[in-house]
Amino acid sequence: MTHFKVPQSASEFGDMPISVNQIIKKKKTPLVPQHLRKKLVYNKANELAQVFAEGGTEGSARGGRIFIDGDKIYSYGRHFIIAQRIDPTTYEFNTRRYSMTTSKQQSAVKSALQGRGYKIIEKEL
């Protein structure tokens, strides 16, 4: 049976071929105060539509019925794209209808995009 010597002091770790820090390389991320963190959950679809128009790539409205993932904003899941960003000033906008709530969300997104003067290409997505 082989016995291993347990280090009794920090100086005894120096003889070991690999240090503890080499084994466990923990990425230290600075703590960011809550008031300085990027907001990802918004109270209303209108707020989220504004974030999307400003170039936001993530976030959702409370309840998750409308959300941004990358260059697309969705209603009630990935099966219904409201709009997608082609470039920073050009967007494809879905003209297909789904429900009363989705129509309201579409209106909020279109209004936010038009408010910034972006080019909107309307088509069924």
**Sheet bearing 41-42, strands edge to edge:** 41-42, 58-61, 66-69, 72-75, 81-87, 90-94, 119-123
Residue 110 banded pLDDT, cuts 50, 70, 90: very high
**Residue reference for tokens 């038009």:** 114
Q: Which of 62, 75, 58 is nearest to 109 (CA)?
A: 75
Which residue is it, tokens 């409370």? 62
- Kindly state the average pLDDT of the residues 7-15: 56
Write down the pLDDT at residue 27. 60
Q: What is the pLDDT of residue 93?
A: 98
Structure tokens at 28: 């230290």
Taking only the tens place, the pLDDT of each residue in 49-108 is 999 999 999 999 987 799 999 999 999 999 999 999 999 999 999 999 999 999 999 999
Q: What is the pTM of this model?
A: 0.70
As a dihedral over the C-alpha atoms of residue 65, residue 57, residue 59, residue 89, rounded to 10 degrees, the angle is -70
